[in-house]
Structure 1
Amino acid sequence: MSDEVALPLQFTEAAANKVKSLIADEDNPNLKLRVYITGGGCSGFQYGFTFDDQVNDGDMTIEKQGVGLVVDPMSLQYLVGGAVDYTEGLEGSRFVVTNPNAKSTCGCGSSFSI
């Protein structure tokens, strides 16, 4: 049996490594990657990413490799079971969300519907 608690949202090694690198560039160790969901995009909802040094009441913080991922409660309900990753490919480099709750996604992967 493992002592690890199952998290509602995964934060991959690749994403944590990139966040660590970007925070080092900003020279502000209090920064965390905030993932959030807003209305919009071609499928109804879209993912957003920003760096934030504030954690609000109700926010969930996931730590990996000494860096944090922060999600507000409203966004978390749409992201449960998903993962935040960082990919590098022909389309460029970016943070991406794998979301099992999305019924459909747009071609670029930044917009989805429930």
Structure 2
Amino acid sequence: MKIFSEKYLELTEKAIKKLKNIMEIKNNYHLKLRIYINGGGCSGFQYQFIFDTLKNKDDIIITQSDVSLIIDPISLQYLHGGKIDYLENLEGSKFIVFNPNAKTTCSCGASFGI
């Protein structure tokens, strides 16, 4: 397991607040947000999020303000330098990614192309 700083992938204050809220509601302070990239989506790749407590051998942990992200090395190469935010609006609520490596994105922000 490697531990990296937030300069590789950063959480916004809204995302941190939401993660802390979820950990409190679930009464599980070991929860981490796992982000990974899947092929597919209207732009080529899709962002996927799950809550996880397990770490794989090659996973990278990024900790910021007492919350942690888990990401695999392949996904990190597509997200390096990005930010994860939390959005609540009339359409619903979700974690979103601001990815400086994306050359194209879909209108909903769930997929991207390199």
The two structures have a TM-score, normalised by structure 1, of 0.89
Deviation string, structure 1 residues 58-109 (Cα, Å, up to 9, x no partner): 2221212211111111100000111111112232211000001111111110
Which residues of 2 match residues 19-38 of structure 1 at below 5 A?
Answer: 19-38=19-38
Measure how far apart 1:40 and its partner are: 0.8
CA RMSD of aligned residues (A): 1.3
Q: Post-superposition shift, 1:13?
A: 1.3
Within a 5 Å distance, the mapping from 1:1-114 to structure 2 comes to: 7-114=7-114
Q: Which runs of 5+ in 1 are unaligned?
A: none
Give 1:12 shift. Answer: 1.2
Aligned partner of 1:72: which letter? Answer: D
Aligned length: 110
User: How far did 1:6 drift?
Assistant: 6.2
- Does the aligned pair in 2 maintain the 1:85–1:96 contact within 8 Å? yes
Secondary structure, counterpart of 1:93 in structure 2: strand
Q: Deviations over 1:10-63 (max 9, x none)?
A: 111111110111111112221100011000111110000000001222222121
Q: Where do 4+ consecutive residues of structure 1 move more than 2 Å?
A: none
Relative distance call for 1:102 and 1:51 in structure 2 (3 A) is same
Q: TM-score, normalised by structure 2?
A: 0.89
Query: Using the alignment, how far apart are the partners of 1:63 and 1:76 within structure 2?
Result: 14
